[in-house]
Amino acid sequence: MISTYKIKPKFQQMLMPLLKRLHKMGVSPNALTLMAVLLSFAIGYLFWNTSEHHSYFLFVAIGLLLRMMLNALDGMMARIYNLQSKLGEILNEVGDIVSDIVIFFPLIVFDSLDIKLAITFISLSIVNEFCGVIAKVVSGQRRYDGPMGKSDRALLIGVICIISYFTSDISIYINYIIGVASFLMIISSYARLKNSLNE
């Protein structure tokens, strides 16, 4: 399935200089994970207030890119410098779910988006991550199968925000976009469970 997760190796390679610098500064993987969660709360706040401050759409998009960087860096640092820990794994998985909730929750106040679709999108994002985690229990391997995994969702909302910053025309399509994204998350969740059983 098509997913931004497939370009993760190239994205990580671009982050290597920054990773080395952070490691020299003594920054831990868990600190990066917590920074990502705190950033997510800031993104959620900005996203909630985009109706009053139009420029926040752009800040949300930039914040989502920074969050993706932090999410990649914490795992890279833990793996490359042998800093894996059970606490780190818990923080990473719980942090991802909490971050998704606080970032996507403001969708419920968008006038152009059906609130039922917003709630469905938020709920399925939680289910999707849970399916990735439960796959590790079943097969011993965390699943990130797409489409519309964590990175894909961040990219989608980021693109929506960038377009919304320049024009309001996207509002007439937002129900279709979120509806299709929700359907893709169902496919992704099914694929994660199915592939874990086939391991």
For 48, the token pair is: 């909630």
Q: 163-196, pLDDT tens digit by residue? A: 999 988 898 999 999 999 999 999 999 999 999 9
Query: Taking 70 as the threshold, does the pLDDT of residue 58 lie above it?
Result: yes
The whole domain housing 10 covers: 4-198
Query: How many alpha carbons lie under 13 Å from residue 137 in its C-beta half-sphere?
Result: 6
pLDDT tens, residue by residue, 61-91: 999 999 999 999 999 999 999 999 999 999 9
Residues 131/135/192/178 CA torsion (nearest 10 deg): 20
Q: What is the mean pLDDT of residues 153-159?
A: 95
Distance separating alpha carbons of residues 102 and 119, to the nearest angstrom: 12
Q: Is the pLDDT reported for residue 1 higher than 60?
A: no
CATH number at residue 87: 1.20.120.1760
* Residue 2 confidence (pLDDT): 60
d(CA 24, CA 69): 18
* Number of structural domains the chain divides into: 1
How do residues 40-52 score in pLDDT, each as one tens digit? 999 999 999 999 9
Percent of the chain with pLDDT over 90: 80
Q: Is the pLDDT of residue 5 over 80?
A: no
Contact (CB, 8 A) for 189 and 127: yes
